[in-house]
Amino acid sequence: MNVLVLVAHPHMEQSRINRTWKERLLQEKGITVNDLYARYPNFNIDVEREQRLLLEHDRIVMQFPFYWYSTPAMLKLWQDQVLTRGWAYGGGDKLLGKSFILALSTGGPEHAYHEEGYNLFTIEEYTRPFQGMANLTGMTYLPHFALHGTRMLSDEQIQESAERLVKAIASR
């Protein structure tokens, strides 16, 4: 299985989690890491290149820090420009049968993402639009990979999470 990981972190050099995940994923055969902020610093996305990458892979992973209950701006722009009508949906079926996974990191603890937590909603509820995107484009939405409470984690815990991420996205 060929896996494409779309990494979207606007300040990768400052990230402990997403940088560690990216570095670990780069070591894996069969996994292509596409760092969107590094590739498109001026936000000029090469749509044809991105669509070609999607066609070449069986599984699509979006890796990002969960900012304000959503994605960083680059990933939303990527969705808007790359997943076009007639190509990905609305008569287009280029993603049909592929699988889709989110790989998220949150600063808050896991219990904060609960109806009684301070965020009031679960990660599943917040990520519902991604489930809709997968459905519309014919992809199979697989359970997300989330690392919570990232500000409080040791380097060893972060490295362990990178190993779990590799297993989660490469073996389902």
Q: How many CB atoms lie within 10 A of CB 163?
A: 10
Split into its structural domains, the chain has a count of 1
pLDDT of residue 172: 61
Domain hosting residue 43, numbered range: 3-170
**Percentage of the chain exceeding pLDDT 90:** 82
pLDDT digits (tens, 9 = 90+) for 65-104: 998 899 999 999 999 999 999 999 999 999 999 999 999 9
Mean pLDDT, the chain, integer: 94
For the chain, the first-to-last Cα distance in angstroms comes to 10
CATH number of the domain enclosing 158: 3.40.50.360
pLDDT of residue 126: 93
